[in-house]
Structure 1
Amino acid sequence: MRKTNVVSEFAPLKSVVLAQSEFCFPNDTENSMDTSFLTKENEEFVKNSGGKDVAEADKQLQSDWEQEKIKMQSLLESYGVEVLRPRLLTRHEKEYGRSQGVGYSNFFSRDPFFTIGPFIIEGNLRFMHRRREILPIRPVLNEWAKNNEGYYFAAPQPDLSEGEKSEIGPFIEGGDVVVLGETIFVGHSGLASNLNGIRWLKQLMEQFDYKVVPVRLHPSILHLDCALSMLKEGLMIVCKEAFLDGIPEELNDWEKINVSLKEAANLITNGLPINDQVYVTDQAFTDLIAQIKAKGIKVETLDYRVSRMFGGSFRCTTQALIRE
C-alpha cells in the first residue's frame, strides 16, 4: 500500500486530483455570491450569466475550459504524476442546484478537501453554490482511502441556525491551506475560511504535533494561494499587500518575487510546482516567467484563461494526495 503524504507545496508531486469543468451560476449572482475577488471583466460575465450553465452561456468557452484540463492532465502525466478525476455531476444534482437557485459547481478540486501529511480532510465551503462540491470528489477519496494508508477526516457541517448566509461556519477551504513541513499556514479574508474553521483545524492538527498559523488577508483576496506560492525551500512568489499583518515570521527570511494586488487578482501566484525544479504557470505571465527562470527553475506554461475567469488557476484545479 502507498501512503497519503503531502510534506510541502514543492515536494515532488506524485498523485493529484484534477478538477472537472462544470459550473452553473446562481440565479441571483449579485446577491448570492461575492464577486469582489474577480477582475472587472470576469465580474461582468458572472453577473450576466445568472441561472445558466457555462455551456449554455458560452459553448466555445466551455469547450476551451475542458481543453485546459486535458492539456493540464497531459502535462502532469508527462512528469510521471498520477492524475485522478472527480466524477461528473448527475442530472439530479444539476436539477437540484437549479431548483434551489444556487446553481452547482464541480470545477476547483483544491478547496473542497485538502491534504496535510498523511491526513485527507474534507473542508467546508462558504459560497452556497459550492457547498456540495465535495460530492463528485468523494468517490475518488473513498477509493483512495480504501487502497492507501492514511487518515480521512471531515470538518463539522456549517451552522445554518442564522440562515444560509450565517458566518458561524466552521469554514475551512483548501485554497487557504499551505503546507510547509509541520507548519500549516491558513488564510482568512472574510471570503472563504474563517477563524472558527481555523480553530477546528488547529485543535485537530496540534494532536499530531503540527503548528497551525492563521494569516489575515486583504478582503479582496479569496484564498491564501492567491497571494503566496512556494517555489522551493527559501523562495516564494508573494503579494505583500495581501498580508494585513505582514508576511508570517516563519517566511520573513525567504527570497521573494513580489507581485501587486492587481496581479494577484489575475491569479499570478496560483501556479503549481511539480517539484522544486519545475513550476507550472499561465503563459500570459511573461514577466513572472522570466523571473522564475532566473532562479534556475524550469517553467512549464499553459493557457489557463478560462479557469482564471472563474477565480482559480493551476493550484485551484488540483489537490495533491502524495507530495514527498
Structure 2
Amino acid sequence: MKQAKVISEFAPLKAVVLAQSQFCFPENDEGADTSFLTPENEALAKNNEGLDLAQVDAHMQSAWEQEKMDMQALLEAYGVTVFRPRLLTASEKEFGKRTGVGYSNFFSRDPFFTIGSFVIEGNLRFAHRRQEILPLRPILEEWSQSHQVRYLAAPQPDVSTGQNSQIGPFIEGGDVLVLGQQIFVGYSGLASNLKGIQWLQRLIANDGYEVIPVRLHPQILHLDCALSFLKEGLMIVCPEAFLDGIPEALSNWEQIPVSLQDAAYLMTNGLPLNEEVYITDQAFTQLIPEIEKYGIKVETLDYHISRIFGGSFRCTTQALIRE
C-alpha cells in the first residue's frame, strides 16, 4: 500500500482535489456573518435567494467552470494528479432548497484537510456548506483504502439551539496551515473555533504535532486569507489580520505584506506547487513582481469569479500528497 502525506504548504504538490462550481444562494441563513464578503458578492446575492447561479447568470456559471478547467490543466502540466468531487445530486439540491439553506459544492479546502498521514473531515460553520463533504467523500474513501492514511471525522457540531449555533466544534481546512510538526489554525469567529482547535490538538498531539491557535481579525474568514507560505522562511502576510501579532514561530520569516483590503480580495490565497512555483491571480499585478524577486516562478490565471464567492486558488484545492 502506498504511503501518502502532507508535510508542509510548499512541499511538492503531487495529488490534489480540485473543487466543482455549484452554488445556490441561501434563503434562510439568518445569523450568518457575511462581513468578510466583498460588495460584488453582496450585489450578486441580492434578490437571488433560493436560486442556483446557473439560473441567475448562465454566462457567469460557464466562466466559473472554465476557471476550474484552466486550473486543472495548469496543475496537470506540472505533473499533479487531480481529483474532482462528484456533482450534487437532484436530491441534495432539493434538500438545500426545501430547507432554505441552499447548497454549495465550490471549495474543497474547507470540508476536509490533510496533516501528515491524517485525512480529517472537518465541520463547517455556515449551514449551507454542512453537506459539502458528501461529494468529496467517495474520493476520500477510495484514497484511504489505497494509501496509508488515517481517515476520520471531527464530531458533528451541536445545533441544539438552531443551525446557526456557535457551539461547534468547528474546524475548517482553510484555517489549517501545515509547517512540518507545527500546525497553525486560525479562528476569527467566522469559521473554526477553539473547541475545534482543541479537538484537533488532542487528536494529533501523540504524533508529535504542535497545534498553534491564531486569533484573527473578525472580517477574515480563514487563516489562508491572511497568510501564505511561499517557501521556508518566506511568506505573504496581512499583519493587520493577526490580533495577537504574527505567531512567534514565524517572527523571523521574511514578509511580503498586504493590506487588510487586499486580503479581502484573496491576495494571500495563492497556491505553491513547490518552493519554486506559485499560482496566483493575474489581477494581482503589484504582488507578482514582489514574489518573483525571490526567484520564484509565478503562474497566473483569471480566478475572478471564484474570488467573488470568497475563495481563490488554495480554497478550491485540498492537497492529498505534499512531500
Task: Give the TM-score taking structure 2 as reference length.
Answer: 0.99
How far did residue 153 of structure 1 move? 1.1
How far did residue 144 of structure 1 move? 0.5
How far did residue 229 of structure 1 move? 0.3
Number of the residue aligned with 1:202: 201
DSSP 3-state at the match of 1:236? strand
Amino acid in structure 2 at the alignment position of 1:91? A
Number of the residue aligned with 2:14: 14
State the aligned residue count.
323
Question: Deviation string for 1:15-69 (max 9, x for gaps)?
Answer: 000000001010145x353221111122221233211101011111100000000
Range 218-227 or range 203-212, more displaced: 203-212
Number of the residue aligned with 2:24: 24
Output the CA distance in 2 between the equivalents of 1:204 and 1:168. Answer: 19
Output the CA distance in 2 between the equivalents of 1:266 and 1:3. Answer: 36
Question: Deviation string for 1:60-89 (max 9, x for gaps)?
Answer: 110000000000000000000000010000
Q: Does 1:161 align with 2:156?
A: no
Number of the residue aligned with 1:56: 55
Indicate the percent of aligned positions where both proteins have the same amino acid. Answer: 69
DSSP 3-state at the match of 2:310? coil
DSSP 3-state at the match of 1:36? coil
Question: Deviation string for 1:231-251 (max 9, x for gaps)?
Answer: 000000000000000000000
Output the CA distance in 2 between the equivalents of 1:313 and 1:48. Answer: 25
How far did residue 260 of structure 1 move? 0.1
Number of the residue aligned with 2:297: 298
Output the CA distance in 1 between the equivalents of 2:196 and 2:47. Answer: 32
DSSP 3-state at the match of 1:5? coil
Output the CA distance in 2 between the equivalents of 1:91 and 1:242. Answer: 40
Question: Deviation string for 1:267-318 (max 9, x for gaps)?
Answer: 0000000000000000000010010011100000000000000000000000
DSSP 3-state at the match of 2:93? helix
Number of the residue aligned with 2:44: 45
Amino acid in structure 2 at the alignment position of 1:41? E
Residues 32 and 164, structure 2, Cα contact 8 Å, conserved in 1: no
Which ranges in structure 2 are unaligned for 5 or more consecutive residues? none
Output the CA distance in 1 between the equivalents of 2:132 and 2:50. Answer: 17
Number of the residue aligned with 2:213: 214
Question: Deviation string for 1:136-164 (max 9, x for gaps)?
Answer: 00000001011111100100000112222
Number of the residue aligned with 2:93: 94
The 5 A counterparts of 1:1-324 are: 1-28=1-28, 31=30, 33-324=32-323
DSSP 3-state at the match of 1:99? helix
Residues 26 and 32, structure 1, Cα contact 8 Å, conserved in 2: no
How far did residue 92 of structure 1 move? 0.4
Output the CA distance in 2 between the equivalents of 1:58 and 1:40. Answer: 18
Residues 51 and 101, structure 1, Cα contact 8 Å, conserved in 2: yes
Which ranges in structure 1 are unaligned for 5 or more consecutive residues? none
Amino acid in structure 1 at the alignment position of 2:96? G
Output the CA distance in 2 between the equivalents of 1:49 and 1:268. Answer: 27
Question: Deviation string for 1:193-221 (max 9, x for gaps)?
Answer: 00000010011110211000000000000
Residues 226 and 268, structure 1, Cα contact 8 Å, conserved in 2: yes
Output the CA distance in 2 between the equivalents of 1:33 and 1:103. Answer: 13
Amino acid in structure 1 at the alignment position of 2:294? K
Range 50-59 or range 234-243, more displaced: 50-59
**Alignment root-mean-square deviation, CA:** 0.8
Amino acid in structure 1 at the alignment position of 2:77? S
Q: Which runs of 4+ in 1 moved over 6 A?
A: none
Output the CA distance in 2 between the equivalents of 1:47 and 1:123. Answer: 29
DSSP 3-state at the match of 1:286? coil
DSSP 3-state at the match of 2:148? coil
Amino acid in structure 1 at the alignment position of 2:98? S
Range 35-44 or range 91-100, more displaced: 35-44
Output the CA distance in 1 between the equivalents of 2:91 and 2:156. Answer: 22
Task: Give the TM-score taking structure 1 as reference length.
Answer: 0.98
DSSP 3-state at the match of 1:299? strand
